[in-house]
């Protein structure tokens, strides 16, 4: 490869990975697509693979990556420590301090929720607009598989946007000028239609194999199931999710705890459950700038997410009964997922090999600290060890498929054998071993609905999913508004908060963009 071509490849990689980095405040600032250097790149399959790597790298940004767990602090599961250097102003969001012009700096949580998905979408569109130039170097099936991976990622990004903001602009082409990007909002229905179209294309063209770092057919089916569930298309969701179950490509991990740790994620007996994730690797950890950070430091040292006691109280006793609501020795004989999800009061964290203890800087407010995703074998955990924090964030896993199927099928037709079987499978995981659902008690659609919702809360705890569940079930006001949290101010969740305001900085730049209702 000559020097000129090496420079060209480096250019396109940087363009895809850091698109708009020259002005991080505006995802639309970029070089024209039709520059000679860009046109000259898309010639070979190797070029396409390089471009694809750039698209995947977008998943490491903010809430598309490891920081997604901070969304738990916008739910009734956990309190956000109010000095969060990773996502500024996210604690204030839980207090209802959500306004178009608040927290919209380039490093602020609210802005990231808008800009990171759109940067991913822009990279996807650049790829899709150019990949056919390399068609002569690939078989048609290979070309379509590359497109399918990228359309899956585009669907993932649009799904975040429509859940967070409602009506949003749709971009399906990489536009050449800033003015081309000044588009009005499309309806939620149109956004969901695009998401479904992208995912159906992905399902038709991705390999029907186990997940190993790139999106596969099961990844797209699982995401489509979640999308359809959010749209309350119960029967359609159940059908898609049952296809995954019957397909046999995925199964439950033999270890709930190890699913969220590096060594476990490399173990076939564990990673058989993972269906899609944001990947990190040695030399490419969760965060190096502006200072080393990641799950281990953020949770085990700074305690940035602290589960609420009343959340701990929803975990059943090991016999399936409701736990006593007292203050002291109530954490014995409980669902094992409780102790694998959070550090309990009076519990000591020690390195299992050296017996060295972890000191938490500020154990804080609730008496509990997030443990899921924390690797205790790295104790003592410090800023110096943060560059080794490389646990993948798991977006989709088979346990969620089983729970989504149980919910969709119960909503579509009510309790039935397949619903109970899906729930019992999740509860019977090797290192969990919880008893089967009491069918005599949970034998109506309404009672089973509440059981399924609690099982989702427990199984998927601290994974960034509860916030979206509360909103799609339309119970966020009931569960969040007035809830005590850090300090003296309660959480605030009003009807308008089902959708966030569009950042004022985006309104100012796009004359066709109209602010969301109640944020005018």
Q: Which residue has the higher pLDDT, 279 or 176?
A: 279
Helices (H) and strands (E) in the chain, counts: 20, 6
Contact (Cβ atoms closer than 8 angstroms) between residue 392 and residue 408: no
Cis omega (within 30 of 0) for bond into 290: yes
Give the per-residue pLDDT at 481: 97
Which tokens sit at 429? 């995981």
Average pLDDT over residues 311-320: 95
pLDDT digits (tens, 9 = 90+) for 274-291: 999 999 988 788 887 777
| pLDDT of residue 11 exceeding 60 | no
pLDDT above 60: residue 142: yes
Over the chain, what is the mean pLDDT?
A: 89
Q: What is the CA radius of gyration of the chain?
A: 23
CA distance 84 to 73: 11
Arithmetic mean of pLDDT, 21-37: 37
191 pLDDT above the threshold of 50: yes
Give the pLDDT confidence score for residue 290 in this predicted structure: 76
CA distances to 128, 129, 345, 367 from 123, rounded to whole Å, are 9, 10, 45, 42
- Say yes or no to pLDDT of 9 above 50: no
Longest dimension (CA), the chain: 73
pLDDT score of 470 more than 90: yes
Class of residue 282 by CB neighbours under 10 A (exposed 0-12, middle 13-18, buried 19+): exposed
Mean per-residue pLDDT, 351-364: 81
Greater pLDDT, 398 or 330: 398
Instruction: State whether residue 393 is helix, strand or coil.
Output: strand
Q: Find the helix or strand (DSSP H, E) in which 78 lies.
A: strand 78-80
pLDDT of residue 292: 80
Specify the pLDDT at position 72. 97
Please tell me the distance from the alpha carbon of residue 426 to that of residue 317, in angstroms, as a whole number: 16
Dihedral angle computed from the Cα positions of residues 395, 397, 402 and 403, in that order, rounded to the nearest 10 degrees: -40
Q: How confident is the model at residue 143 (pLDDT cuts 50, 70, 90)?
A: very high
The C-alpha atoms of residue 409 and residue 403 are separated, in whole angstroms, by 10
Q: Which helix (H) or strand (E) holds 477?
A: helix 476-480
Task: List residues bridging with 357 in a β-sheet.
Answer: 350
Arithmetic mean of pLDDT, 247-261: 97
The pLDDT value given to residue 33: 38
pLDDT score recorded for residue 39: 64
Say which range, 100-104, 162-166, 450-454, has the weakest mean pLDDT: 100-104
Other Cβ atoms less than 10 A from the Cβ of 209: the count is: 11
Nearest-angstrom CA–CA distance, 252 and 431: 11
Give me the mean pLDDT over the 459-475 stretch. 98
Chain centroid to CA 339: how far? Answer: 22
Query: What is the full DSSP assignment across 211-247?
Result: -SSS--HHHHHHHHHHHHHHTT-HHHHHHHHHHHHHH
Confidence of residue 329 (pLDDT cuts 50, 70, 90): low
Per-residue pLDDT reduced to its tens digit, 60-105: 999 999 999 999 999 999 998 766 667 888 888 999 988 898 877 7
Which of 36-40, 252-256, 273-277, 466-470 is predicted least confidently? 36-40
Looking at residue 327, its pLDDT comes to 53
Domain boundaries, the chain: 1-147+474-520
User: In the structure, what pLDDT confidence band is assigned to residue 12 with cuts at 50, 70 and 90?
Assistant: very low
**Residue 34: is its pLDDT beyond 50?**
no
Percentage of the chain with pLDDT > 70?
A: 90
Task: Report in angstroms the alpha-carbon separations of 366 from 164, 327, 480, 484, 487.
Answer: 27, 12, 16, 11, 11
Q: DSSP code of 420?
A: H
From 231-235, 317-321, 344-348, the region with the lowest mean pLDDT: 344-348
Assess contact for 215 and 152: CB atoms under 8 A: yes
* Neighbouring-strand partners of residue 502: none
Structure tokens at 310: 């009343």
Task: Check residue 25 and give its pLDDT.
Answer: 35
Query: What is the pLDDT, as a whole number, of residue 488?
Result: 79
Peptide bond into 380 cis (omega under 30): yes
């Amino acid at each position: 490869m000559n020097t000129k071509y090496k420079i060209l490849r480096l250019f396109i990689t940087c363009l895809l990975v850091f698109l708009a980095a020259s002005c991080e405040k505006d995802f639309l600032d970029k070089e024209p697509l039709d520059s000679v250097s860009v046109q000259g790149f898309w010639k070979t399959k190797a070029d396409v693979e390089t471009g694809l790597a750039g698209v995947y790298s977008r998943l490491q940004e903010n809430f598309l990556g490891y920081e997604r767990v901070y969304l738990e602090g916008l739910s009734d599961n956990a309190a956000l420590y109010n000095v969060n250097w990773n996502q500024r102003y996210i604690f204030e969001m839980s207090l209802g301090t959500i306004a178009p012009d608040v927290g919209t700096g380039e490093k602020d949580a609210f802005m990231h929720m808008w800009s990171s998905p759109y940067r991913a979408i822009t990279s996807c569109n650049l790829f899709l607009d150019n990949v056919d130039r390399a068609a002569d170097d690939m078989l048609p099936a290979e070309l379509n598989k590359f497109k399918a991976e990228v359309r899956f990622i585009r669907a993932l990004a649009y799904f975040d946007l429509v859940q967070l903001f409602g009506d949003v602009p749709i971009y399906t082409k990489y536009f050449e000028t800033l003015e081309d990007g000044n588009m009005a909002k499309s309806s939620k229905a149109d956004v969901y239609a695009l998401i479904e179209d992208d995912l159906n294309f992905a399902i038709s063209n991705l390999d029907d194999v186990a997940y190993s770092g790139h999106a596969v057919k099961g990844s797209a089916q699982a995401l489509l199931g979640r999308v359809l569930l959010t749209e309350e298309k119960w029967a359609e969701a159940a059908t898609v999710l049952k296809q995954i179950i019957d397909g046999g490509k995925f199964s439950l991990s033999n270890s709930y705890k190890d699913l969220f740790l590096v060594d476990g994620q490399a173990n076939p007996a564990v990673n058989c459950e993972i269906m899609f994730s944001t990947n990190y690797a040695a030399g490419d950890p969760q965060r190096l700038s502006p200072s080393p950070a990641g799950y281990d430091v953020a949770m085990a040292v700074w305690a940035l997410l602290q589960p609420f006691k009343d959340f701990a109280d929803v975990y059943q006793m090991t016999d399936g009964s409701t736990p006593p609501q007292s203050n002291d020795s109530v954490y014995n004989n409980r669902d094992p997922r409780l102790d694998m999800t959070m550090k309990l009061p009076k519990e000591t964290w020690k390195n299992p090999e050296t017996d060295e203890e972890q000191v938490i800087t500020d154990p804080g407010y609730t008496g509990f600290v997030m443990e899921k995703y924390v690797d205790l074998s790295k104790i003592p955990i410090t800023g110096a060890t943060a560059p080794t924090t490389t646990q993948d964030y798991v977006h989709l896993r088979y346990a969620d498929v089983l729970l989504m199927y149980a919910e969709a099928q119960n909503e579509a037709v009510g309790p039935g054998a397949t619903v109970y079987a899906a729930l019992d499978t999740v509860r019977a995981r090797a290192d969990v071993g919880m008893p089967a659902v009491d069918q005599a008690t949970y034998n109506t659609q309404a009672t089973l609905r509440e059981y399924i919702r609690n099982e989702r809360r427990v199984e998927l705890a601290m994974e960034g999913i509860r916030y979206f569940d509360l909103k799609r079930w339309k119970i966020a006001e009931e569960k969040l508004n007035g809830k005590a949290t850090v300090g003296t101010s309660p959480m605030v969740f009003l009807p308008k908060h089902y959708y966030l305001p569009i950042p004022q900085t985006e309104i100012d730049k796009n004359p066709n963009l109209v602010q969301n209702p109640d944020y005018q």
